[in-house]
Structure formats: structure tokens, C-alpha cells
Amino acid sequence: MQLVVQVLLGFRRLRDRDYFADDPMVCRILILGVSRLLDVATISRALAAAGPEPVEGLRGVLGGLVLERLAKLRRATVTLDFDGSVQSTRRHAEGSAVGYNKKRKGARSYYPLFCTVSQTWQFLDMHHRPGNVHDSRGAEVFIEAKIADVRSVLPHARLESRLDSAFFSETLLATLERLSVEEFSISVPFERFRVCALASCDAPVAGSASTTTAPSSSSTGDRSRGPSRIPAASSPFAHAGPCDARGRCSSTSSSPAITSTSTRSS
């Protein structure tokens, strides 16, 4: 409870406890049969003794409160957003690693994957990861587990999901289809169209058309957005530079991403 109040007050380091140790309002809230607040050494020993089981138990309690709230609301549609967020750390915090960090380059960090409920702005769960992993690391298992949790309390609700291009893969699309997610939106990363000088090159050439198809289900009654054809001549990829013998082309265009949306109907 002391750590919870400390975070609510805006403090993040254990030693910040000294700033509110003598605050009468905080002491009135926290002191239950003790004469003073816990010191830093006591809190450190308690955190060091906490293994995976207490952590998983806390996750279960917090996630259960959100699921209980969703069950009471009885929403017809639930949208789950999955996204990673860089959490910078100081020194050599346990489980941290040097990875992508836009604000503090070279700093050790965590890169947890968050699952939030869009309609209620609630935080459902988090998959803890070090800072040097890809966005998709452990994402498929985590996404499947959270969808199953929501289905357990709202079996008849329309379930939607939103993800960015870092999670895109054929395996994940198949998983969302298998879990009967009625609608999901995911950004699709596109590689550059390459203009080959060699006649034997299999890459698309300027003037040809490229087709992308949103995932769909083959069952009767399901519907999905049909294939959209993008003429390469009107695309920024069509003006690529010369290619070498291995088919590698130079281009000044950046690689955009489009959003692929799949819709299912019961």
C-alpha cells in the first residue's frame, strides 16, 4: 500500500519515501498499528523476496477487476488495443536491456506490451519484456490469452482488435481468424517496388500492378474487404533508381504502410 501511495504522489524511486515520511495525511492513511512508515531497506528486501508467483497473482487480481467491470457493463462491442511502450530505467535495473529508446538513446529500458480496453480506457494487462526485443516478441500468446479472458466474461460481445505494423504476420492473422475476432485493424508494412534491369528478375517492374488482399474467412456468411489494386505507375515506388546484379535498387522514397481491415459477420 505504501508503494501505491508513493506512485500516486508522483514519486518513482524508493528513496523518495523520505519526502513524505513525516506527512501527517500520508501517515494517517498508511499507518495501521505501526509507529512509522517502512524504510527503504525493508521495502527492498520485500521486493527481492517476491518471485514470479506473487507477480502473477497481482496481475490476476488487477485484470480480474477490469473483467468484472466489463461484465457489469455488458457492452455489445469491446475493442482491445495492443501496443508496446518504452520504459526507461536508471543504472542496471533487473531485466532491463539497451534497445530502441527514442527519448534516451543508449539507456537501459523495458519494452512491455500493453493491452487496453478502448471503450472504458482501462488497462487490462501487461506482458513484461526487456528493452532489446522486437514488438512481436511473445505478442501472439499474450493476445490470444487476453481475447480468451474477455470471451470468458462476454461470450456474446462483438470483439475488435487494433494493432500496428510491427505485429503483422500471417501467423497472427490466422490466430485472429481462429479466435473469431469479428473485426481487426492492423497496419501492413510494404516493401519497396524494385525496378530490375535483368529480364530474369522476379520483382515487380514499373507500370505493373501490385495487389494486396485483406484477410478473410472462407466460411459462409463471412465478409471482408476485397482486394485493392494499386497501380505501380502512380505509386512513389515506381520511380526507383537503378538496380545492381543482385536486384537491389536505390530509391529516395520512404516505405509507407497501409492499414488492412478484416470484418467478419456472425
pLDDT tens for each residue of 22-60: 777 777 777 665 667 888 888 888 888 888 888 888 888
Same domain, 133 and 219: no
pLDDT one-digit tens code per residue, 172-225: 888 899 988 988 888 777 653 343 444 444 544 444 333 333 444 444 444 444
CATH number for the domain including 136? 3.90.350.10
pLDDT one-digit tens code per residue, 234-259: 444 444 444 444 444 443 333 344 44
Same domain, 216 and 174: no
Average pLDDT, integer, range 69-79: 92
Question: What's the pLDDT at 69?
Answer: 92
Question: What's the pLDDT at 100?
Answer: 81
Question: What's the pLDDT at 246?
Answer: 44
State the Cα–Cα distance between residues 32 and 87, nearest whole angstrom: 33
Same domain, 92 and 103: yes
Q: Is residue 43 part of a domain?
A: no
Q: Is residue 163 part of a domain?
A: yes
Contact 132, 97 (CB under 8 A): yes
Q: Is residue 97 part of a domain?
A: yes
| CA contacts within 13 A on the Cβ side of 204 | 18
Contact 264, 183 (CB under 8 A): yes
Contacts of 197 (CB under 8 A, 6+ apart): 242, 243
Full-model pTM: 0.64
Same domain, 197 and 118: no
Same domain, 76 and 178: yes
State the Cα–Cα distance between residues 143 and 147, nearest whole angstrom: 6
Identify the domain containing residue 127 by its residue range: 72-188
Residue-level length of the chain: 266
Please state the domain count of the chain: 2
**Which residues are paired to 159 by β-bridges?**
78
Contacts of 107 (CB under 8 A, 6+ apart): 88, 89, 98, 101
Q: Is residue 60 part of a domain?
A: no
Where does 70-143 show beta strands of DSSP type E?
77-84, 87-88, 97-98, 108-110, 113-117, 122-127
Q: Is residue 122 part of a domain?
A: yes
264: closest CA among 156, 182, 185, 184?
Answer: 182
Instruction: Name residue, grid cell 487480481.
Output: 61
Question: What's the pLDDT at 202?
Answer: 52
Same domain, 139 and 196: no
Question: What's the pLDDT at 262?
Answer: 59
Question: What's the pLDDT at 104?
Answer: 83
Question: Is residue 170 packed enough to be buried (19+ CB in 10 Å), middle (13-18) or exposed (0-12)?
Answer: exposed
DSSP 186: E
Average pLDDT, integer, range 105-134: 90
Least confident range from 26-35, 159-168, 227-236: namely 227-236
